[in-house]
Structures are given as structure tokens and as C-alpha cells.
Amino acid sequence: MDIQLKRGLLDVCVLAAIKNEDSYGYKIIKDMKPYVELSESTLYTILKRLEAADMLTVRSAEHGGRLRKYYRITGAGLKRIEDFRDEWQEIMSIYQFVTREDERHE
């Protein structure tokens, strides 16, 4: 898959993983695992990128006697997911057009 496309998809996946509730690194990886494999180093890069783009915020909270970082989606992050859904409708239309052309030649 094209690297830029994959990067964009993974960004949205991570945002989707924290859309409903604040989450932390390991849980994000676990939640995404049934859909897409993500290494810790890739997740770190994505989280930093999304934080720099103001799509999520980070806070530390105590958990079991240690500090754990929680990630919360922002308005910009939610908008990115909405934009992705709109873009995807367009991509799906193109996909349907492309596959319909294939069927005609079979």
C-alpha cells in the first residue's frame, strides 16, 4: 500500500481508537489489533504527529502506583474523522466504478 495513504489511514485509526474514551498506548494497540497490526514505535510516531497537529491532547494520571499517559481526542481530531468519512464515500464511489469496469470484461 502507498506509504502516504497508509500513514493517513493509521492516523485516523488511532483517532478512532480514542474517539469514545480516553485511552493509553497499550490499549490503543490492543483495540486496533483485530483490524490492523501496529508496532509500538509506529504508534509513538503517530501519537506525536497527532499531538503536534492538535488532534489529541495528553495527560498523565496515576494508575496502580505509577503514572500512565492518557490520550484524548480534540475537536480537530473529531473533524479529521468526519473528513475521512466524507473522503471515503468518494473513494468507495471510485472503487465501485473501477470494479464495475472489471466485471464487464470478465
Partner 1 sequence: MNKQEFLARLREGLSGLPQDDVAERLTFYGEIIDDRVEDGLSEEAAAAEIGPVDEIVSQTIAEIPLPKLVRERVRPKRPMRAWEIALLATGSPLWLSLLIAALAVLLSLYIVIWAVILSLWAVEASFAVCSLGGAAAGLWLVCRGGGLPGLCMISAGLVLAGLSVFLFFGCRETTKGALLLTGRLARGTKSLLIRKESAQ
Residue number with CB closer to partner 1 (53 or 91): 53
Q: What is the CB neighbour count within 10 angstroms for residue 24?
A: 15
Residue number with CB closer to partner 1 (64 or 75): 64
Residue number with CB closer to partner 1 (60 or 96): 60
Q: What is the CB neighbour count within 10 angstroms for residue 83?
A: 11
DSSP H or E segment with residue 41 = helix 40-52
Phi, psi of 67 (to 5 degrees): -95, 140
Compute the least distance from the CB of residue 56 to partner 1, in Å: 14
Is residue 44 within 8 A of residue 51, CB to CB? The reply is no
**Interface residues toward partner 1, by CB under 8 A:** 24-27, 29, 39-42, 44-45, 64, 66-69
Compute the least distance from the CB of residue 55 to partner 1, in Å: 18
Compute the least distance from the CB of residue 16 to partner 1, in Å: 20
Which residue has 464495475 as its cell numbers? Answer: 100
